[in-house]
Protein backbone atom coordinates (compact mmCIF):
# COMPACT_ATOMS: atom_id res chain seq x y z
CA UNK A 1 0.00 0.00 0.00
CA UNK A 2 1.06 3.61 -0.52
CA UNK A 3 0.47 6.64 1.67
CA UNK A 4 0.73 10.06 0.06
CA UNK A 5 2.23 13.21 1.55
CA UNK A 6 -1.31 14.41 2.36
CA UNK A 7 -2.08 11.40 4.55
CA UNK A 8 -4.26 9.64 1.99
CA UNK A 9 -3.91 5.88 1.93
CA UNK A 10 -2.32 3.40 4.29
CA UNK A 11 1.13 2.02 4.97
CA UNK A 12 1.39 -1.75 4.65
CA UNK A 13 3.40 -2.01 7.86
CA UNK A 14 0.65 -0.27 9.85
CA UNK A 15 -1.99 -2.55 8.33
CA UNK A 16 -0.06 -5.70 9.23
CA UNK A 17 0.75 -4.61 12.78
CA UNK A 18 -2.84 -3.48 13.43
CA UNK A 19 -4.01 -7.11 13.46
CA UNK A 20 -3.86 -8.34 17.04
CA UNK A 21 -5.37 -11.22 18.94
CA UNK A 22 -4.76 -13.86 21.58
CA UNK A 23 -4.79 -16.93 19.34
CA UNK A 24 -1.84 -15.99 17.12
CA UNK A 25 0.09 -13.88 19.63
CA UNK A 26 1.55 -10.78 17.99
CA UNK A 27 0.05 -11.74 14.64
CA UNK A 28 1.78 -10.05 11.69
CA UNK A 29 4.22 -7.94 13.68
CA UNK A 30 7.61 -8.09 11.98
CA UNK A 31 6.21 -9.53 8.76
CA UNK A 32 6.83 -6.26 6.91
CA UNK A 33 10.52 -6.37 7.86
CA UNK A 34 10.72 -9.97 6.66
CA UNK A 35 9.23 -9.05 3.29
CA UNK A 36 11.58 -6.10 2.85
CA UNK A 37 14.79 -7.84 3.94
CA UNK A 38 14.41 -11.38 2.55
CA UNK A 39 14.28 -11.88 -1.21
CA UNK A 40 13.11 -15.47 -0.75
CA UNK A 41 10.16 -14.45 1.41
CA UNK A 42 9.09 -11.75 -1.02
CA UNK A 43 9.46 -14.04 -4.04
CA UNK A 44 7.52 -16.77 -2.24
CA UNK A 45 4.58 -14.45 -1.59
CA UNK A 46 4.55 -13.14 -5.17
CA UNK A 47 4.75 -16.62 -6.68
CA UNK A 48 1.95 -17.89 -4.44
CA UNK A 49 -0.37 -15.05 -5.41
CA UNK A 50 0.45 -15.31 -9.13
CA UNK A 51 0.04 -19.10 -9.13
CA UNK A 52 -3.28 -18.95 -7.28
CA UNK A 53 -4.56 -16.28 -9.65
CA UNK A 54 -3.49 -18.36 -12.66
CA UNK A 55 -5.35 -21.45 -11.42
CA UNK A 56 -8.49 -19.53 -10.43
CA UNK A 57 -8.74 -17.70 -13.77
CA UNK A 58 -8.14 -20.87 -15.78
CA UNK A 59 -10.65 -22.88 -13.76
CA UNK A 60 -13.33 -20.20 -13.99
CA UNK A 61 -12.87 -19.87 -17.73
CA UNK A 62 -13.31 -23.64 -17.98
CA UNK A 63 -16.23 -24.10 -15.60
CA UNK A 64 -18.08 -20.88 -16.47
CA UNK A 65 -17.14 -20.05 -20.09
CA UNK A 66 -18.04 -16.51 -21.05
CA UNK A 67 -18.06 -17.46 -24.75
CA UNK A 68 -19.98 -20.52 -25.98
CA UNK A 69 -17.11 -21.94 -28.02
CA UNK A 70 -14.80 -22.12 -24.99
CA UNK A 71 -16.64 -25.15 -23.62
CA UNK A 72 -16.34 -27.17 -26.83
CA UNK A 73 -13.06 -26.05 -28.38
CA UNK A 74 -10.46 -28.72 -27.69
CA UNK A 75 -7.46 -26.45 -28.07
CA UNK A 76 -8.88 -23.86 -25.70
CA UNK A 77 -9.53 -26.50 -23.05
CA UNK A 78 -5.95 -27.75 -23.37
CA UNK A 79 -4.64 -24.23 -22.97
CA UNK A 80 -6.67 -23.77 -19.79
CA UNK A 81 -5.33 -27.01 -18.32
CA UNK A 82 -1.81 -25.99 -19.30
CA UNK A 83 -2.33 -22.79 -17.32
CA UNK A 84 -3.50 -24.85 -14.34
CA UNK A 85 -0.24 -26.80 -14.49
CA UNK A 86 1.70 -23.54 -14.76
CA UNK A 87 -0.15 -22.19 -11.72
CA UNK A 88 0.75 -25.32 -9.76
CA UNK A 89 4.36 -24.91 -10.85
CA UNK A 90 4.40 -21.32 -9.56
CA UNK A 91 2.92 -22.38 -6.20
CA UNK A 92 5.55 -25.11 -5.89
CA UNK A 93 8.19 -22.42 -6.48
CA UNK A 94 6.56 -20.33 -3.76
CA UNK A 95 6.78 -23.22 -1.29
CA UNK A 96 10.40 -23.90 -2.19
CA UNK A 97 11.44 -20.29 -1.66
CA UNK A 98 9.47 -20.20 1.59
CA UNK A 99 11.44 -23.23 2.76
CA UNK A 100 14.70 -21.54 1.74
CA UNK A 101 13.65 -18.46 3.70
CA UNK A 102 12.93 -20.53 6.80
CA UNK A 103 16.32 -22.23 6.59
CA UNK A 104 18.46 -19.21 5.69
CA UNK A 105 16.80 -15.96 6.68
CA UNK A 106 14.46 -16.86 9.55
CA UNK A 107 15.81 -16.02 13.01
CA UNK A 108 13.74 -17.62 15.80
CA UNK A 109 15.48 -15.52 18.45
CA UNK A 110 14.03 -12.27 17.11
CA UNK A 111 10.69 -13.64 15.88
CA UNK A 112 9.02 -14.65 19.12
CA UNK A 113 5.30 -15.28 19.49
CA UNK A 114 4.40 -13.92 16.07
CA UNK A 115 2.53 -15.67 13.26
CA UNK A 116 5.49 -17.71 12.01
CA UNK A 117 6.54 -18.72 15.51
CA UNK A 118 3.02 -19.92 16.35
CA UNK A 119 2.86 -21.73 13.02
CA UNK A 120 5.99 -23.71 13.88
CA UNK A 121 4.70 -24.46 17.37
CA UNK A 122 1.43 -25.84 16.01
CA UNK A 123 3.00 -27.73 13.15
CA UNK A 124 2.01 -31.16 14.51
CA UNK A 125 -1.64 -30.13 14.57
CA UNK A 126 -1.32 -28.57 11.10
CA UNK A 127 0.23 -31.75 9.68
CA UNK A 128 -2.52 -33.90 11.17
CA UNK A 129 -5.19 -31.66 9.66
CA UNK A 130 -3.48 -31.73 6.26
CA UNK A 131 -3.42 -35.52 6.41
CA UNK A 132 -7.10 -35.49 7.31
CA UNK A 133 -7.86 -33.25 4.33
CA UNK A 134 -5.98 -35.61 2.04
CA UNK A 135 -8.01 -38.55 3.30
CA UNK A 136 -11.19 -36.53 2.80
CA UNK A 137 -10.17 -35.86 -0.80
CA UNK A 138 -9.93 -39.60 -1.30
CA UNK A 139 -13.18 -40.65 0.39
CA UNK A 140 -15.51 -37.69 -0.05
CA UNK A 141 -16.02 -38.09 -3.78
CA UNK A 142 -17.67 -41.48 -3.48
CA UNK A 143 -19.26 -41.13 -0.04
CA UNK A 144 -20.56 -37.56 0.07
CA UNK A 145 -20.85 -36.61 -3.60
CA UNK A 146 -21.80 -39.67 -5.69
CA UNK A 147 -22.08 -37.63 -8.89
CA UNK A 148 -18.75 -35.85 -8.50
CA UNK A 149 -16.91 -38.37 -10.67
CA UNK A 150 -19.38 -38.04 -13.49
CA UNK A 151 -18.33 -36.41 -16.73
CA UNK A 152 -18.52 -32.62 -16.60
CA UNK A 153 -17.24 -31.93 -20.10
CA UNK A 154 -17.96 -33.49 -23.46
CA UNK A 155 -14.40 -32.67 -24.42
CA UNK A 156 -12.54 -33.93 -21.36
CA UNK A 157 -14.98 -36.46 -19.83
CA UNK A 158 -13.53 -36.91 -16.33
CA UNK A 159 -10.13 -35.41 -17.07
CA UNK A 160 -10.87 -32.22 -15.19
CA UNK A 161 -11.29 -34.16 -11.95
CA UNK A 162 -7.99 -35.94 -12.52
CA UNK A 163 -6.02 -32.72 -13.03
CA UNK A 164 -7.72 -31.03 -10.08
CA UNK A 165 -6.96 -33.96 -7.78
CA UNK A 166 -3.33 -34.03 -8.96
CA UNK A 167 -2.86 -30.35 -8.17
CA UNK A 168 -4.58 -30.64 -4.79
CA UNK A 169 -2.56 -33.66 -3.71
CA UNK A 170 0.76 -32.26 -4.89
CA UNK A 171 0.21 -29.01 -3.00
CA UNK A 172 -0.97 -30.78 0.17
CA UNK A 173 2.00 -33.15 0.13
CA UNK A 174 4.33 -30.22 -0.47
CA UNK A 175 2.91 -28.35 2.51
CA UNK A 176 3.28 -31.44 4.72
CA UNK A 177 6.86 -31.97 3.59
CA UNK A 178 7.74 -28.33 4.12
CA UNK A 179 6.33 -28.23 7.64
CA UNK A 180 7.93 -31.53 8.63
CA UNK A 181 11.30 -30.60 7.16
CA UNK A 182 11.81 -27.34 9.07
CA UNK A 183 14.25 -27.63 11.94
CA UNK A 184 16.30 -30.47 10.43
CA UNK A 185 19.88 -29.86 9.37
CA UNK A 186 19.33 -31.24 5.91
CA UNK A 187 22.74 -30.53 4.35
CA UNK A 188 24.28 -32.89 6.92
CA UNK A 189 21.64 -35.61 6.73
CA UNK A 190 21.82 -38.50 4.31
CA UNK A 191 18.79 -39.57 2.36
CA UNK A 192 17.61 -41.16 -0.85
CA UNK A 193 18.58 -38.22 -3.06
CA UNK A 194 22.07 -38.00 -1.60
CA UNK A 195 22.69 -41.70 -2.10
CA UNK A 196 21.31 -41.59 -5.64
CA UNK A 197 23.35 -38.60 -6.80
CA UNK A 198 26.55 -39.76 -5.13
CA UNK A 199 26.18 -43.17 -6.76
CA UNK A 200 25.68 -41.51 -10.17
CA UNK A 201 28.78 -39.35 -9.67
CA UNK A 202 30.74 -42.42 -8.53
CA UNK A 203 29.66 -44.32 -11.66
CA UNK A 204 30.74 -41.43 -13.89
CA UNK A 205 34.15 -41.30 -12.25
CA UNK A 206 34.51 -45.09 -12.41
CA UNK A 207 33.68 -45.26 -16.11
CA UNK A 208 35.83 -42.23 -16.98
CA UNK A 209 33.04 -40.63 -18.98
CA UNK A 210 33.39 -37.36 -17.11
CA UNK A 211 36.12 -35.46 -15.35
CA UNK A 212 36.66 -36.41 -11.72
CA UNK A 213 34.57 -34.21 -9.47
CA UNK A 214 33.60 -34.29 -5.86
CA UNK A 215 29.94 -35.20 -5.21
CA UNK A 216 27.68 -32.25 -4.49
CA UNK A 217 24.58 -33.98 -3.22
CA UNK A 218 21.21 -32.35 -2.87
CA UNK A 219 19.62 -32.01 0.52
CA UNK A 220 16.31 -33.73 1.19
CA UNK A 221 14.33 -30.50 0.76
CA UNK A 222 16.13 -29.70 -2.49
CA UNK A 223 15.54 -33.23 -3.74
CA UNK A 224 11.82 -32.99 -3.06
CA UNK A 225 11.68 -29.63 -4.81
CA UNK A 226 13.55 -30.93 -7.86
CA UNK A 227 11.31 -34.00 -8.06
CA UNK A 228 7.99 -32.18 -7.88
CA UNK A 229 9.28 -29.47 -10.26
CA UNK A 230 10.11 -32.08 -12.89
CA UNK A 231 6.71 -33.66 -12.32
CA UNK A 232 4.87 -30.40 -12.96
CA UNK A 233 7.05 -29.50 -15.94
CA UNK A 234 6.18 -32.90 -17.37
CA UNK A 235 2.50 -32.09 -16.99
CA UNK A 236 2.95 -28.75 -18.74
CA UNK A 237 4.92 -30.32 -21.60
CA UNK A 238 2.43 -33.19 -21.98
CA UNK A 239 -0.66 -31.01 -22.21
CA UNK A 240 1.15 -28.65 -24.57
CA UNK A 241 2.09 -31.62 -26.76
CA UNK A 242 -1.58 -32.60 -26.99
CA UNK A 243 -2.41 -29.03 -27.92
CA UNK A 244 0.14 -29.02 -30.74
CA UNK A 245 -1.12 -32.39 -31.95
CA UNK A 246 -4.64 -30.99 -32.05
CA UNK A 247 -3.50 -28.00 -34.11
CA UNK A 248 -1.77 -30.32 -36.60
CA UNK A 249 -4.86 -32.53 -36.82
CA UNK A 250 -7.16 -29.57 -37.46
CA UNK A 251 -4.89 -28.02 -40.07
- Domain range for 114 is 12-187
- Residue 200, in any domain of the structure: no
Backbone angles phi, psi at 3, to 5 degrees: -115, 125
168 HSE (CA, 13 A, CB side)? 14
- Residue 38, in any domain of the structure: yes
The DSSP secondary structure of 41-79, one letter per residue, reads HHHHHHHHHHHHHHHHHHHHHHHS-SSGGGGT-HHHHHH
Closest Cα to residue 228, out of 188, 175, 179?
175
- Residue 77, in any domain of the structure: yes
**Against a cut of 0.85, is the pTM above it?**
no
- Residue 244, in any domain of the structure: no
Q: What is the pLDDT along the chain (251 residues), one digit of tens a residue?
A: 567 777 777 777 777 777 666 666 567 776 777 777 888 888 888 898 998 898 888 888 877 777 777 777 767 777 787 788 888 888 888 887 887 787 777 777 776 677 777 777 777 777 777 777 766 656 555 555 555 555 555 455 444 555 555 565 566 655 555 555 544 444 445 555 555 566 666 666 666 655 555 545 556 666 677 777 777 777 777 777 777 776 666 65
- Residue 178, in any domain of the structure: yes
- Residue 250, in any domain of the structure: no
Number of domains into which the chain is organized: 1
- Residue 86, in any domain of the structure: yes
Q: Which residues contact 126 (CB under 8 A, 6 or more apart)?
A: 119, 179
- Residue 194, in any domain of the structure: no
Amino acid sequence: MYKTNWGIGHILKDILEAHKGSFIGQWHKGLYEIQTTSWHAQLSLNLAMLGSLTIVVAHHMYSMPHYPYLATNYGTQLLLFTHMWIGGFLIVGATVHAAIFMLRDYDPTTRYNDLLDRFLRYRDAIISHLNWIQNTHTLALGAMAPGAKASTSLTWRGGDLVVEEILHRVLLLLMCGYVISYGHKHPRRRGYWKELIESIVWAHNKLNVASSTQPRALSIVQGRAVGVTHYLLGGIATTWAFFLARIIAVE
